[in-house]
């Protein structure tokens, strides 16, 4: 499915974008906040890749690998979202204090 391939490439692009942004910033809370966004992007990449594997290949091994990737991606998305919610107010406060 071309839609899943496009979503996979977009999520990988966002991961690379956030990692570059992570290395360019100096403030610790902002770094953690950006790292959580990159974790969400990586989780989306793994999720879409696993979903794509399940649709492309109909073998038992591909289905098992796809399910493992989907579960791993969902866990990464969940952990990244929890970290995002935690670090967002801290990054805002850090940004306000830096002015």
Classify burial at 79, counting beta carbons within 10 Å of its beta carbon; exposed 0-12, middle 13-18, buried 19 or more: middle
In this prediction, residue 57 carries a pLDDT of: 84
Tell me which residue range forms the domain holding 54: 2-20+29-98
Q: How confident is the model at residue 80 (pLDDT cuts 50, 70, 90)?
A: very high
Joined tokens for residue 17? 């974008």
Query: What's the CA gap between 99 and 86, in Å, rounded?
Result: 22
**How many percent of the chain have pLDDT more than 70?**
99
Per the structure, the count of domains in the chain is 1
Distance (Å, whole) CA 31 – CA 23? 8
Residue 1 has pLDDT above 80, yes or no: no
> Is the whole model's pTM more than 0.85, yes or no?
yes
pLDDT score of 99 more than 80: no
Q: Which whole number is the average pLDDT over 18-38?
A: 95
Region 47-51 average pLDDT: 95
pLDDT score of 35 more than 80: yes
């Amino acid at each position: 499915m071309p839609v899943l391939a496009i979503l996979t490439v977009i999520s990988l692009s966002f991961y690379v974008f956030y990692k570059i942004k992570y290395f360019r910033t100096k403030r610790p809370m902002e770094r953690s906040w950006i790292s959580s966004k990159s974790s969400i992007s990586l989780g989306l990449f793994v999720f879409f890749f696993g979903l794509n594997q399940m649709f492309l290949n109909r073998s038992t091994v591909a289905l098992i690998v796809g399910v493992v990737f989907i579960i791993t991606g969902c866990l990464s998305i969940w952990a990244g979202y929890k970290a995002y919610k935690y670090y967002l107010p801290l990054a805002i406060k850090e940004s306000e204090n830096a002015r």
